Structure formats: structure tokens, C-alpha cells
């Protein structure tokens, strides 16, 4: 049986590579697995991987510039054509898509999926649903997205979701039968050649929030929570916010952060720089208003720092070993402020928290995820 993983646009190559390498390690020398993905360097990957066309540097791929978006669309078209010929020649048993690059903006995806099905009629086609809806979507855009999804739903034999809560929401939103869905958690992102160093807290509690910053991620809630701290407590905390931020949202954050010890780095930074910023922190903060599955959280677990999360069902399910009083009420700056103050005054059992975190790191290891996928493959 041959398995093919596909990421046409290379949206999250770290996920593609980590899963592919773990699956290959479990399979041994059997050449049954292949990865086709953009934004990867096949020379550095320990699995059978082929690099798809990547015309735009990764840090510019989310740009709203029409010229860059047009190039990205042309790139996706060529990659789909390559995929069609690849499956016609190789005839894999499973073609497992990780992302659908056009679905967020157009309905053309159904044509490409039909061609893939024609090229290899006996292949089963799977799709991982990393997010129920695109990030930063509003009610109108979700209605349009839903109408497009209905057109391509029939091409997939199986959907993989990372959480039980996501599965329930997905089936309800799109009218999908639960028997067509399986839950396999997201593995923990593990930066290569990086070791967790011994860490001691300094005079100030150092908070960090990282990733692309936007309203749904609640960056403004974090700033508001710091502002609500009593003045004598504010002097005991330092906050760093790093990640690409729109000009409008940045203006709002800077106005709220005026006079506070909050450093905002509103741009993409290299992995090495980001890793250093996180390692220099004491606590990671994820004050999201909504999320179906957070890759940022799965990276945070690697660094073995306490994580302050809003009490969204997806966060609670992922961190199921963490007691509920370590979460704050989503969308409530006062609730977040109270929890931050507990960390500042050292009224939190950090040792107990980190013990549970180490257990979660084992549970979400890529080897465990690979074994779950292999069981699913064997069912086919």
C-alpha cells in the first residue's frame, strides 16, 4: 500500500515534515510513504519527500499584495497539475491532503480534486481539517467558505481532525457524518538542534505572546490585563509580543500599551530569534478569543514554560491534564489579570504544572501520532 501526503501551498511545512519523518521511522525501509509539499528542502528531510514549486518566500506568502497573491495562485495551479500526473503514475492507495490552498478564496479547487480522482480512481482521498474556518474570518466570509466546502466535500473519503471538540463542531457546521471523521491529535513542534536550558526567574516575571497577532488571538486582551494590574504589581512584570501585526491592530495595541513595560515586535522573526525570545521568558500567554486548533500551543508545550490559556474548549481538551484553575475566562481581561498576578506573586504551583506538561509532551510526541496514523492506514 502506498501513502501520499500532499501540501500544495506548503502552508505549515514543519507539520508536514515532522509527521512524514515519524511515519517513515515507524515504517522502516519500506518505501510506501511519500510527501509532496511546497516550502520544504528535501535534502534536510529524513523521509521520501519532493519539493513542490515555491515562488514566494514563506514570510511573504500571507501578503495581501495582489501581485504576490497572483503568483501564489499560479504556483498552486502548477503544483496541482504535477500532483495529477504523479498520482496517475504512482497510483497511491491514499492521497492525504493537509491543506486546500484555494478553498479560502475560490471554488476552483473542486476541478483539481476531480482531476486527481480521474487520474487515480481507486485512490482514497483524505483531508486534515486543521481549522474549522479560516483565521480572521467573519460571518459573511464563513457563509461563502461553507458554500465552497459543500462543493468539494464529496471528493473526500475521510476527514482527520485534531480534537474531539473540533470533530463535533465540524460535523455540525458542514453536515458531515461522524463516521467519515477520525481524531488524531496534532504533534508537538520540536525545533531542531535546540535544547531546553535551565531557567531561573529574574526580578520581573517575563511574559511572552508570539505568532501572527490579530483580534481573534486576543492580543489586546493581554495588554488590557497588564494595564489592569495595580501599579506596584505592574513593576514586577515585563511583556514581549512578537509576530506579524497589521498596521491598524498595531496602532490599537501601541495606544493601549503606552506607559507599560510591553515590547511589541510587529513583524516576522527568524526561528532562531523566536526560540531565544521564548527561552528567555517565564510564562507563555495565549489569550485567544477563538481557535479550533493552535499550532502555537503545540510549540509552546515544547519549551516547558507555564502556559496561560483562555478557557476555550480546544485549549482545555489539548491541555486536559492541566487543572481548570490554570485557565482564565476567554475574552475577560480581569480574569487574565488575576491569573497573571498569581504568577507574579508566586501563588501558582509551577512545579506541578510542569510535571503535567511533561506527560503531555510524551502523549503528543510525533511517534505516538505516527502510530495512530498507521492504525488508520491499516483499516483502509
Q: Is the pLDDT of residue 300 over 90?
A: yes
- What pLDDT is stored for residue 56 in this prediction? 63
Instruction: Give phi and psi for 9, each to the nearest 5.
Output: -100, -10
Which three cell numbers mark 39? 516550502
Percent of the chain with pLDDT over 70: 94
- Rounded to an integer, the average pLDDT of 301-313 is 95
Q: Is the pLDDT of residue 197 over 80?
A: no
Q: Are strands 33-37 and 49-51 parallel, antiparallel or unpaired?
A: parallel
Give the tens place of pLDDT for each residue, 317-364.
Answer: 999 999 999 999 999 999 999 999 999 999 999 999 999 999 999 999
Distances (CA, A) of 103 to 147, 150, 151, 159: 10, 11, 10, 16
- What pLDDT is stored for residue 57 in this prediction? 62
Q: Of the CATH numbers 3.40.50.1820, 2.40.160.10, 3.40.50.2000, 3.90.1300.10, which one belongs to the domain with range 205-363?
A: 3.40.50.2000
> Which strands, in side-by-side order, build the sheet including 283-286?
262-265, 237-242, 205-210, 283-286, 307-310, 327-328
d(CA 378, CA 372): 10
Distances (CA, A) of 377 to 182, 259, 370: 12, 56, 10
Sketch the domain layout of the chain as residue ranges: 3-187+365-379, 205-363
Distances (CA, A) of 156 to 114, 152, 361: 10, 8, 31
Q: Is the pLDDT of residue 146 over 80?
A: yes
- How far from the centroid of its chain's Cα atoms is residue 311's Cα? 18
Give the tens place of pLDDT for each residue, 95-124.
Answer: 999 999 899 888 899 999 999 999 999 999
- What pLDDT is stored for residue 9 in this prediction? 87
Q: Is the pLDDT of residue 43 over 80?
A: no
Confidence class of residue 65 from pLDDT cuts 50, 70 and 90?
low
> Which strands, in side-by-side order, build the sheet including 33-37?
49-51, 33-37, 3-7, 94-99, 124-129, 158-161, 181-183
Confidence class of residue 70 from pLDDT cuts 50, 70 and 90?
confident
Query: What region, left, alpha or beta, does residue 109 occupy, with left being phi > 0 and alpha being psi -120 to 50 degrees?
Result: alpha
- What pLDDT is stored for residue 180 in this prediction? 96
Which three cell numbers mark 65? 499584495
Asked whether the beta carbons of 68 and 99 are under 8 A apart, the reply is no
d(CA 275, CA 304): 12
- What pLDDT is stored for residue 71 in this prediction? 78
Q: Of the CATH numbers 3.40.50.970, 3.40.50.2300, 3.40.50.1820, 3.40.50.2000, which one belongs to the domain with range 3-187+365-379?
A: 3.40.50.2000
- What pLDDT is stored for residue 294 in this prediction? 86
d(CA 56, CA 11): 12
Which three cell numbers mark 252? 490599537
Beta strand ranges found along 311-372 (DSSP E) = 327-328
Mean pLDDT over each residue of the chain, to the nearest integer:
91
- What pLDDT is stored for residue 74 in this prediction? 86
d(CA 130, CA 14): 14
Asked whether the beta carbons of 137 and 215 are under 8 A apart, the reply is no
Asked whether the beta carbons of 293 and 162 are under 8 A apart, the reply is yes
Confidence class of residue 163 from pLDDT cuts 50, 70 and 90?
very high
Asked whether the beta carbons of 346 and 325 are under 8 A apart, the reply is no
Identical fold between 3-187+365-379 and 205-363: yes
Amino acid at each position: 500500500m502506498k501513502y501520499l501526503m500532499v501540501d500544495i501551498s506548503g502552508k505549515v511545512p514543519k507539520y508536514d515534515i515532522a509527521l512524514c519523518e515519524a511515519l517513515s521511522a515507524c515504517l522502516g525501509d519500506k518505501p510506501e510513504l511519500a510527501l509532496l509539499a511546497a516550502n520544504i528542502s528535501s535534502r534536510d528531510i529524513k523521509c521520501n519527500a519532493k519539493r513542490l514549486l515555491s515562488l514566494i518566500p514563506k514570510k511573504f506568502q500571507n501578503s495581501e499584495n495582489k501581485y504576490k497573491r497572483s503568483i501564489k495562485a499560479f504556483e498552486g495551479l502548477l503544483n496541482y497539475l504535477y500532483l495529477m500526473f504523479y498520482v496517475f503514475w504512482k497510483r497511491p492507495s491514499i492521497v492525504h491532503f493537509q491543506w486546500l490552498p484555494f478553498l479560502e478564496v475560490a471554488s476552483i479547487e473542486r476541478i483539481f480534486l476531480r482531476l486527481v480522482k480521474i487520474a487515480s480512481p481507486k485512490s482514497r482521498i483524505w483531508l486534515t481539517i486543521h481549522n474549522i474556518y479560516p483565521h480572521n474570518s467573519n460571518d459573511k466570509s464563513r457563509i461563502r467558505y461553507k458554500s465552497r466546502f459543500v462543493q468539494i466535500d464529496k471528493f473526500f473519503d475521510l476527514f482527520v481532525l485534531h480534537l474531539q471538540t473540533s470533530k463535533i463542531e465540524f460535523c455540525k457546521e458542514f453536515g458531515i457524518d461522524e463516521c467519515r471523521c477520525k481524531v488524531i491529535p496534532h504533534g508537538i513542534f520540536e525545533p531542531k538542534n535546540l535544547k531546553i536550558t535551565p531557567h531561573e526567574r529574574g526580578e520581573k516575571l517575563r511574559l511572552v505572546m508570539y505568532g501572527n497577532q490579530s483580534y481573534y488571538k486576543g492580543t489586546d486582551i493581554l495588554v488590557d490585563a497588564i494595564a489592569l494590574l495595580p501599579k506596584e504589581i505592574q513593576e514586577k512584570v515585563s511583556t514581549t509580543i512578537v509576530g506579524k501585526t497589521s498596521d491598524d491592530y498595531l496602532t490599537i495595541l501601541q495606544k493601549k500599551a503606552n506607559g507599560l513595560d510591553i515590547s511589541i515586535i510587529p513583524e516576522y522573526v527568524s526561528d532562531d530569534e523566536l526560540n531565544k525570545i521564548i527561552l528567555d521568558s517565564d510564562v507563555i500567554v495565549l489569550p485567544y478569543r477563538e481557535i479550533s486548533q493552535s499550532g502555537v500551543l503545540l510549540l509552546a508545550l515544547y519549551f516547558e514554560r507555564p502556559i496561560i490559556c483562555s478557557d476555550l474548549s480546544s485549549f482545555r481538551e489539548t491541555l486536559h491534564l492541566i487543572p481548570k484553575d490554570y485557565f482564565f475566562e476567554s475574552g475577560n481581561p480581569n480574569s487574565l489579570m488575576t491569573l497573571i498576578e498569581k504568577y507574579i506573586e508566586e501563588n501558582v504551583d509551577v512545579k506541578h504544572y510542569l510535571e503535567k506538561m511533561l506527560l503531555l509532551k510524551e502523549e503528543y510526541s510525533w511517534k505516538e501520532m505516527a502510530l495512530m496514523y498507521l492504525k488508520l492506514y491499516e483499516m483502509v
